[in-house]
A = this chain, B = another copy of it.
């Protein structure tokens, strides 16, 4: 029986009840607008954890642009229905006032993991993510928490936060779910119009080319990622914001590829910014 609660006190009370009666508490933090990628997180949590708690909260602190926050989809009824079908025990859907009753003075300072890619292009984004994830961890106190690999930098940030702050929660990364043509599932995909939608696969195509280059023996990151013209089709609706090879743990740029790296990119398709990444494994040296 799914329950939906919107206050911290109610959530804590229900989690405590479940903790007494079941095994571990699995937690899937989301901003709602749930799609097959979220379903995959929830299904994984269902298999591994005693009960599953899903939070649905569009966190203002992690948006650098007011229009992006405003346009972010919020289909709460459909989200709750999906959670019900997937066997979620508790949905936590707090208001902004419940999560931030006063302007926060304290923030989580992320350090160099936020210096590149989304951290560079979206000032304050990862501080906002880390802060709300820490708050949600304190509210839910889960044993395991599930995050999508599609947001690879976010996953690295959360993993390192939990290590640095000794938060006793196991972070589980879950593989990206894709549309049949390869586009990574994202709540922002609904903003693409019919003309933009086919173009949106360009990012994943480029990332796979990069991974193939690495697999084929290329080692110079600037040479691999620098040829934008061959990676992204020439189209005025497409603007590549980033394409970098980074260390999987600390998201620092890699100049010469000797170990597995993550190729991560951000592509503007019209007015929609999409991100994606693939893991690149260099050819084994003989």
Contacts and interface: CB of A to CB of B under 8 A. Distances in A.
Interface of A: 8, 12, 102, 104-113, 127, 130-131, 134-135, 138-139, 141, 160-161, 163-168, 250
B105 A108 contact: no
A109 B108 contact: yes
Q: How many copies does the complex hold?
A: 2
B130 A106 contact: yes
Contact of A105 (B111, B139, B141): B111
Nearest to A134: B165
Contact of A165 (B111, B127, B135, B168): B135
A116 to B, nearest CB: 13
A107 B112 CA distance: 11
Contacts of A130: 106
A243 B123 CA distance: 37
Given A104-B111, A106-B164, A138-B168, 15 more contacts: A12-B168, A102-B163, A105-B110, A105-B111, A105-B112, A105-B164, A105-B250, A106-B110, A106-B130, A107-B108, A107-B111, A131-B165, A135-B164, A138-B165, A141-B168
Nearest to A101: B163
B104 A164 contact: yes
14 contacts: A8-B166, A104-B111, A105-B112, A105-B250, A106-B110, A106-B111, A106-B130, A106-B164, A106-B165, A108-B109, A109-B127, A135-B165, A135-B166, A139-B166
Contacts of A107: 108-109, 111
Given A8-B166, A165-B134, A113 B108 contact: no
A271 to B, nearest CB: 32
A102 B165 CA distance: 12
A107 B139 CA distance: 20
A102 B111 CA distance: 13
Nearest to A140: B166
Contacts of A161: 106
A106 B105 contact: no
